A and B are shown apart, each in its own frame.
Chain A
Amino acid sequence: MNVKNPKKHFIAYLINLAGVLVLFFLLMGLFKSNVLGARTAYLMGICTTACYTIVMVTSLNILVGVMGEFSLGHAGFMSVGAYASAIVTNALADAGLPTILLFVIALLVGGVASAITGVLVGIPALRLRGDYLAIVTVAFAEIIRVAFCNFEITGGGRTMSGIAKLSNFYWCFWVTVICVTIMYMFVRSRFGRTVKAIREDYIAASASGVNVTFYKVMTFTFSAFFAGVAGAMYAHYMTAMIPTIFNFNYSAEFLTEVIIGGTGSLTGSIIGAALLSALPELMRQFSTYRMLAYSIVLVLVMIFKPGGIFGTYEFSLTRILKKLLSGELFKGKKKLTDEMGGAAHE
């Protein structure tokens, strides 16, 4: 990515868009043709779950992989998004807005509410680093949970139900595509590179004139925004929720998926999130063993491949196309010198 070439970029984006469209129509064809019969709705549910999990895990990966800091309280941001959006859609339920507009409003409200929380949490918390930051994020998430258990508007510790069912698979798919694209562009942007510089050596970055706190808080907010969007999708898919769901274990689950997928690799996050959220659904009889298996895999990954399964590798559709065209895919692993950026996300 040394030489900027807008035309090449544009082509890369087009190719990726085509890839995403192909995937979308494949899934849509699968669901619409009713090949699976009665199981279609069930499968669509799993795919919707996968969608918001992907957004959650990718947004957490922005923190863990790109910024190099931990958040063990990401479920807290998700709950802020979920509750804020649910309250707003409940209030707007009689306004007669078209569903798509209501859904977009819900997502934005969820994201913005979560981002505001992100700023409020980030400014004090990001003065700390490493272990202490991890603990403080847990503390904030717990405070949020306790608050939602006590506020009357969030159900006062009881299940909040009757939220409009706005999320369906097709919308969630596109929301996920948009979210992941924005996050991908963020990582590749000037801003993202600065954040990576902070990750590598924050003292050196600060000596080079980077306002470390500002960049960290902004990244934290950015990540929180998408966690909120994921929360909004969750709320309008589940239609009922209780604050105790968004506990420490839920946050730990997301972190597990980030780490197993690969810290710093959005591809890893997407594949990790999609598989790990779909697998337990597909093998329901083994659900008790799910987290047990996760934790064992996590320890093994830590011992044998600390960077996660994908490491920092990004799947790139353009690269594969190029290799296919030049016939190099079958010739072994000869490296292409002018690798193009623009990875496919799906």
Chain B
Amino acid sequence: MQLALFIQSVINGLNQGAIYALIALGYTMVYGIIRMINFAHGDFIMVGAYTLFYTIPLMISAGMPAWLAVIVAIAVCVIVGVTVEVVAYRPVRGQGSMTALITALAMSLFLENLAMVLFGANPKSVPAIFTLPTVNFLGATLQTKYLLTFGIGAVIMILLQLFVKKTKLGKAMRAVPQDKEASTLMGIHVNKIITTTFAIGSGLAAVAALMYCSTYPRCTTDMGSMMGLKAFIAAVLGGIGSIPGAMLGGLVVGLIEIFVKVYIAPGWYEAITYGLLIIVLLVKPSGILGKNVGEKV
């Protein structure tokens, strides 16, 4: 029984962690390229979740599998993400990190309150997305969809890593944060690259929304901000700007959260996650897999 609980917790933790990892990927990519915490990223997930809530019934009534709704969600999230970037972030670029941070915060508040006005404050319950069987493994009940979440997370991470390392666009993405002016001189359209990064990040947020809704089938207007914060912690923990780091950080945060909930003190799991973040930032601000960058005087 003890073992079963343990295995159960590991699986739950990995599932939770994979969701965080997917969100953290979006944070890490945006931070990696323009050094800005995109506070609105968490709210892209909320946008994705509400899109799923409205499109899944349509999909089902059209006789298609429910998860295909994610395509609509990705489209909506990409549109929202790119709009936010072009309308709000681009005009303030180059005005310092403080301005960028406040603008990001403002966009997060805006999306949240817009959702509140449009959809109301009551939580909406999302219909079941996957109907997959449960498997018994050493006395623990495994939800196959959890494995699916983990698998999708891993596949996306690998694809993203290949994209950034192997393609020309990925190379441009790595070049922009190193030196904006030099990249422009090399024929890289910096704004286009940044917008592309936002589009990818927002698309990932929609996938994360699908994963989240298959585990916790409800969406609220404030679901994005707190989850986004934890995913950001995951990104920082793993080393911001690093794609494997985001994955690792996400899994660590997810596992810690579930294990603290199950074994230590259920009410305190958030405090322990945040405490961990503080310790990591103080001991190794660049994160587990991040590179240490010194500051020039």
Q: Using a CB–CB distance below 8 Å, which chain A residues touch chain B?
A: 68, 70, 72, 124-125, 127-128, 130-132, 134-136, 138-140, 142-143, 146-147, 149-150, 157, 203, 248-249, 252, 255-256, 259, 288-289, 291-292, 294-296, 298-299, 302-303, 306
Contacts and interface: CB of A to CB of B under 8 A. Distances in A.
Nearest to A142: B274
Nearest to B88: A299
Contacts of B112: 291
A70 B109 contact: no
Contact of A298 (B36, B109, B278, B285): B109
13 contacts: A127-B282, A128-B282, A131-B36, A134-B37, A140-B278, A147-B271, A150-B267, A255-B102, A288-B113, A291-B112, A299-B106, A302-B88, A303-B88
A249 B37 contact: no
A140, A288, A299, A303, most chain B CB atoms within 10 A: A299
Given A146-B271, A298-B109, A302-B92, A130 B102 contact: no
B134 interface: no
Contact of A128 (B98, B106, B268, B281): B281
B278 A294 contact: no
Given A135-B229, A139-B274, A142-B270, 13 more contacts: A72-B105, A124-B282, A128-B282, A131-B36, A135-B236, A142-B271, A142-B274, A146-B271, A203-B297, A248-B225, A256-B105, A256-B106, A306-B95
B99 interface: yes
Nearest to B267: A150
Contact of A294 (B103, B109, B236, B277): B109
Contacts of B92: 302-303, 306
A202 B246 CA distance: 31
Contacts of A288: 113, 116-117
A132 B35 CA distance: 11
Question: Which secondary structure dominates where chain A touches chain B?
Answer: helix
The 4 closest A-B pairs by CB, nearest first: A295-B110, A139-B274, A298-B106, A295-B109
Contacts of B96: 306
A131 B97 contact: yes
B156 interface: no
Given A149-B267, A248-B229, A135 B37 contact: yes
Nearest to B115: A292
Given A288-B117, A291-B109, A299-B88, A143 B275 contact: yes
B91 interface: yes
